Chain A
């Protein structure tokens, strides 16, 4: 069994497998990559590099998109 780690996605606690790539997590969450921006620990992540970054425990991931606003 794989070791688990705790991360926060959009402020909510999530338990995921250790050594999960950001790209894999986003694919599992069915995030439409072309319509979002990704921030990891307050740093914007280049979407081309998502498959090179492994998530670590206590990482804070933000996934944002456009919604209606004034």
Chain B
């Protein structure tokens, strides 16, 4: 789960607990020197219990992203990081050339890089070859709530990679998470859909159930799709 956009940190911490999320994304920002009473994220979410995934949200170049993640590693020794290099301030789509270059550099520096990317199977393959630890294609633009726009591409990426595949960005409601899991994804990363729901705690619970339902459905092996009907009751013995 993402930890941004909540009313306050205790709301965020409670929503995370309810959702059952194991990893949370966090941002690296300047400490407020003048107001030392401001609460710290680590006072609400214990990094010993929940895995912190430092993210480069807000970075628009490889240089900025690398600087951010090197600092993140320094804060707590985290090697597992999320790379997100944005290319456009309006649609927030990833700048994939910079993303690919950064993935290569970070991997060489010993980072385990979970990579936010577009839903392009070819680019996903390039990221995998560059050493990505997880592929995180967007469902739709960040914060848009549109749900998975290109299910076919996600399925193609699923077929071609054994890396963890996590849908990152663009989910709007719990059923979107079910669809992601039914497509064979290993998880979803959700922020706005929960943080900005009218009832964030209820939505956090809904997402938890949706992920479980989707995973069970995927593992159960769905029936084939047919064009014609197939009656559920036997024809034999009809009166």
Query: B residues within 8 A CB of A31?
Result: 31, 33
Contact of A70 with B30 in the complex, beta carbons under 8 Å? no
B45-57 Cβ-contact flags toward A at 8 Å (1 or 0): 0000000101101
Contact of B5 with A70 in the complex, beta carbons under 8 Å? yes
A40-56 Cβ-contact flags toward B at 8 Å (1 or 0): 00101001000000000
Report the Cα distance A65→B168, complex, angstroms.
23
Contact of B74 with A66 in the complex, beta carbons under 8 Å? no
Query: B residues within 8 A CB of A12?
Result: 33
B223 at the A interface (CB under 8 A): no
Q: How far is the CB of B91 from chain A (nearest CB, A)?
A: 15
Q: State which of B4, B33, B76, B143 has its C-beta within 8 Å of the C-beta of A69.
A: B4
Within 8 A of A (CB), among B1-39: 2-6, 9, 12, 25-31, 33, 36
Q: How far is the CB of A39 from chain B (nearest CB, A)?
A: 6
Contact of B54 with A63 in the complex, beta carbons under 8 Å? no
Query: A residues within 8 A CB of B72?
Result: 37, 66
Contact of B30 with A64 in the complex, beta carbons under 8 Å? yes
B41 at the A interface (CB under 8 A): yes
CB-based A-B contact count at 8 angstroms: 94
Q: State which of B12, B26, B31, B74 has its C-beta within 8 Å of the C-beta of A10.
A: B31
Query: A residues within 8 A CB of B75?
Result: 35-37, 64-66
Q: State which of B9, B74, B192 has its C-beta within 8 Å of the C-beta of A70.
A: B192
A30 at the B interface (CB under 8 A): yes
B62 at the A interface (CB under 8 A): no
Q: How far is the CB of B78 from chain A (nearest CB, A)?
A: 9
Query: A residues within 8 A CB of B58?
Result: 69
Report the Cα distance A35→B75, complex, angstroms.
6
Query: B residues within 8 A CB of A66?
Result: 26-28, 41-42, 52, 54, 72, 75-76
Chain A interface (Cβ within 8 Å of chain B)? Answer: 9-12, 29-32, 35-39, 42, 44, 47, 62-70
Chain B interface (Cβ within 8 Å of chain A)? Answer: 2-6, 9, 12, 25-31, 33, 36, 40-42, 52, 54-55, 57-58, 67, 70-72, 74-76, 142-143, 169, 191-192
What are 14 A-B residue pairs whose CB atoms fall within 8 Å in the complex? A9-B33, A29-B36, A31-B31, A63-B33, A64-B29, A66-B26, A68-B2, A68-B9, A68-B41, A69-B3, A70-B5, A70-B142, A70-B169, A70-B191
